[in-house]
Structure 1
Amino acid sequence: MQEVKASMAGSVWKITVNKGESVEEDQDIVILESMKMEIPIASEEAGTVKEIKVAEGDFVNEGDVIAIIE
């Protein structure tokens, strides 16, 4: 099980996967917006999206869990 975490604080601009979807290693899961920049947050391993813990528009802090991959 992998917890995908925010690498920096920002707003969730776009969620690029759905619960139950298969993902590859280094596939973007969420795109954050911070200081007018788009920051992709990717899965570190292949698996299936078990849970997405944020919604578009949510604010996250560095280290917050964004998704769970199994």
Structure 2
Amino acid sequence: MTKIVASLAGTVFKILVAPGDVISPGQEVVRLESMKMEIPIEAEIGGRVKDVVVHEGDFVNESDPLIILDDEM
């Protein structure tokens, strides 16, 4: 199980993936809003999305998990 985490504190502006989606390294998965700027969060590795643990409008802190990837594809 691999986690994609928030790189900074902010509000979840848009979730771009859903459970079951197969993502590639570098693909944008979540967009955060912080200080009136939109910040893309990209996957460092590829895999299948197992769970999205946040909702649009949620506040997250740096290093909070956003997406869980399934290690077994």
- Please say if 1:32 is aligned against 2:21: no
1: CA distance, partners of 2:42 / 2:36 = 19
The C-alpha deviation readout for 1:14-55, integer Å capped at 9, x for no partner, is: 000111100000111100000011011111111100000000
Aligned match of 1:11: 11
Please tell me the root mean square deviation across aligned C-alpha atoms, in Å.
Answer: 0.7
5+ residue gaps in structure 2? none
- Partner amino acid for 1:40? P
Partner residue, 2:56: 56
TM-score in terms of structure 2 length = 0.92
TM-score normalized with structure 1 length: 0.96
- d(CA) in 2 for partners of 1:65, 1:17: 14
Alpha-carbon separation, structure 2, partners of 1:29 and 1:60: 15
Q: Distance in 2 between matches of 1:13 and 1:56?
A: 6
Gap runs ≥5 in structure 1: none
